[in-house]
Amino acid sequence: MPTILGQNQYGKAENRVVKITRDGATHHIKDLNVSVALSGDMDDVHYNGSNANVLPTDTTKNTVYAFAKEHGIESAEQFGVHLARHFVTSQEPIHRARIRIEEYAWERIEASGEARHSFVRKGQETRLTQVTYDGAHWEVVSGLKDLTVMNSTDSEFWGYVKDRYTTLKEAYDRILATSVSARWRFNWTDDAQEMPDWDASYARVKQHMLRAFAETYSLSLQQTLYQMGSRVIEECAEVDEIRFSLPNSHHFLVDLEPFGLKNDTPDGAVYFASDRPYGLIEATVLRDGCEARIPVDLTNL
């Protein structure tokens, strides 16, 4: 044979695992992106297509989710050690396991009340602005994107239209997560008016947006969006209009029944964080009597 097989490895990459544990009203999140790469006696599968030594990548994925449920996630390192040891010691043909883990950190959103189940992902959002001047009038539209938030409870979705293509199960306690993209228009339009304190305004808009997200018991992301928008308009006199584009970042409970593990209570639940497709919920909230001027498509701004 004029060729020989060199280094090879295989496994399921980027398993998005979210585990929520509940300590009364205080919830804790572990949010990981786990990639498995296995190597060992894999000549046959490459040379002849014999799968006799191949533990399916699908199984490596299931193992990640089942371990999250069964053994918990103390730290990324501990979880990685546990998985790597499992693959190498339980499968004779596998001699090496490389587990790569990215961990996403979340901070609590401080809101009113006892509930502690609202989080904002660490790492800064991007702050945006667009300033337009025609010699007489100003238009300032500011905003942000990539502000990722999650409520690990206080979200339901049911009572929706069902037609012959509807398979979605009604949800009475689900995760609500989104990455907020928003633009808001200031009512400062001419030099005769006092200019807002832009930095203080940004902080205020963001704070009210986050609080409204945390404090809304949600029956839909649409309802949460409206609450976020109206809170900003009520609390920030300098803003007349706000538009949101909110992807509904779906978290699906993983079916662990085949492995004899129950994953049907929200406590200690393991979710698969899906990145696409996603619901996309968009709307403008206006001060009553004001005109809508922010473009429908926020990418055009």
Ligand X SMILES: O=c1[nH]c(=O)c2[nH]c(=O)[nH]c2[nH]1
Catalytically annotated residues: 12, 57, 250
Cα separation, 118 vs 115, in Å, equals: 8
The DSSP code sequence of 206-217 is: HHHHHHHHHH--
Q: Which two tokens stand for residue 103?
A: 């961990």
| Closest distance of CB 220 from ligand X, Å | 4
Cα separation, 184 vs 238, in Å, equals: 10
- Residue 68 carries which side chain, given as an amino acid letter? A
| Closest distance of CB 272 from ligand X, Å | 16
| Closest distance of CB 281 from ligand X, Å | 6
Cα separation, 143 vs 130, in Å, equals: 9
Is residue 219 classed as helix, strand or coil in its secondary structure?
coil
Q: If 0-12 CB within 10 Å is exposed, 13-18 middle and 19+ buried, where does residue 167 land?
A: exposed
Nearer CB in complex with ligand X: 47/217: 217
Nearer CB in complex with ligand X: 119/157: 157
Nearer CB in complex with ligand X: 32/214: 214
Nearer CB in complex with ligand X: 93/279: 279
| Closest distance of CB 250 from ligand X, Å | 8
CB atoms within 10 A of CB 31: 23
CB atoms within 10 A of CB 75: 11
Residues 121 and 93 sit within 8 Å (Cβ to Cβ): no
- Residue 232 carries which side chain, given as an amino acid letter? V
Cα separation, 117 vs 143, in Å, equals: 25
Phi, psi angles (nearest 5°) of residue 152:
-85, 0
| Closest distance of CB 239 from ligand X, Å | 25
Nearer CB in complex with ligand X: 104/226: 226
| Closest distance of CB 160 from ligand X, Å | 7
Nearer CB in complex with ligand X: 87/271: 271
**End-to-end CA, the chain:** 59
Q: Which residues bind ligand X (CB under 6 A)?
A: 157, 168, 220-222, 248, 279
